[in-house]
Amino acid sequence: MEYELNYNEIQKEAKKKNRQQSLRIFFGRGVTVKLCSAILVLFVVLSLLLPLVMNLDPNSQDLVNRLAAPSAEHWFGTDYLGRDVFARIIYGGRVSLMVSLLAGTFAAAVGIVLGLIAGFFGGIVSRTIMAATDVILSIPNMVFTMIIAAIMGRSVVSLTIAIGIGMVPTYIRMVNGQILQLKENDYVVASTLVGQSSLKILFKHLLPNAFPSLIVLYTINLGNAIMTESSLSYLGVGINPPTATWGNMVSDAYAYLYLAPRLAIIPGICIIVLIIAFNIVGDGLRDSLDPRLRGKL
């Protein structure tokens, strides 16, 4: 009993040291990672909390003050219908973040499970899953997502599912490759020989070792989801107006590029900055979480 208690304490101490080392490496990669992490936190805080403390209405129209310049009342000015651009940026960020997080989580949950099954069990199950994956990947992602979005409708839920389905094959491919490599390791063979169940081997030994690469893919896909949502909204097959999205704002501002270029520049900058921040933070997480890369990148 005493030995078991000591072993548990050693395990807890080792996990604590690993967490501390991971955080030290993550924030020690330079000012870029810190800046991008702060940008992500800022976007989330502004999108979720600012509407609670400020009276922001993204759809309130004031045609008398249409295309007004930035002022104390309207920080980013107004658009062609007199709507406050700052309010629409905040609410558009909320929609973009919500769609990207939900779509990314949905794609990760489905793709990881299918990738684990395909990589571990093999046979006809693996061939069927990978064949379906190849078919989806053979269709350009934007075209595939547009088709699904057109079939399901132009709501937030429909767009989230459409974007998520388009990202599922990326997880299947990565997890399948990782599992095919990891299941040949000695500890997996030993676990099989001692009679551990397939589920225990999958979720205790294989998935945790593939997790660092999946973190990177997840963060990159969050940025891709924001880009896809903005592109679909710009093309007119995204979320229905008057719901504020960054893509809708860029699309609506096209006719006013000469009169008020800020209407397209401000949401465009938000899209670019958020995508870059997700990619850089994902790369930093991979370096800090993967023991094989820790501190080397």
- Whichever domain contains 133, its CATH number is 1.10.3720.10
What is each CA distance from 26 to 22, 70, 75, 207, 276, in whole angstroms? 6, 38, 35, 22, 17
Number of domains in the chain: 1
- At 289 the pLDDT is 67
- At 2 the pLDDT is 47
The domain of 170 spans: 39-46+78-289
CB atoms within 10 A of CB 287: 21
- At 297 the pLDDT is 46
- At 4 the pLDDT is 46
Do the Cβ atoms of 108 and 220 come closer than 8 Å? no
- At 29 the pLDDT is 65
Is position 260 within any domain? yes
Rounded CA-CA distance 297/212 in Å is: 14
Do the Cβ atoms of 86 and 54 come closer than 8 Å? no
- At 295 the pLDDT is 47
Q: Which residue has the tokens 């571990």?
A: 120
pLDDT by residue for the chain (297 residues), tens only, comes to 444 445 456 556 655 666 666 666 666 666 778 888 888 888 888 887 777 767 777 878 878 888 888 888 888 888 888 888 888 888 888 888 888 889 989 999 999 888 888 887 878 888 888 888 888 888 887 888 888 877 877 777 888 888 888 889 889 988 888 888 777 776 777 777 776 676 777 777 777 777 777 888 888 888 888 888 888 877 777 777 777 888 888 888 888 888 888 888 888 888 888 888 888 887 777 777 665 555 444
Tokens of 53: 């403390």
Is position 100 within any domain? yes
Is position 101 within any domain? yes
Q: What is the 3-state secondary structure (H, E, C) of 259-284?
A: CCCHHHHHHHHHHHHHHHHHHHHHHH
Is position 33 within any domain? no
Residue 292 CB contacts under 8 Å (≥ 6 apart), including other chains = none
Is position 34 within any domain? no
What is each CA distance from 137 to 97, 165, 168, 206, in whole angstroms? 25, 11, 10, 25
Is position 229 within any domain? yes
Is position 64 within any domain? no
Is position 17 within any domain? no
What is each CA distance from 63 to 11, 49, 80, in whole angstroms? 65, 28, 8
Model pTM?
A: 0.79
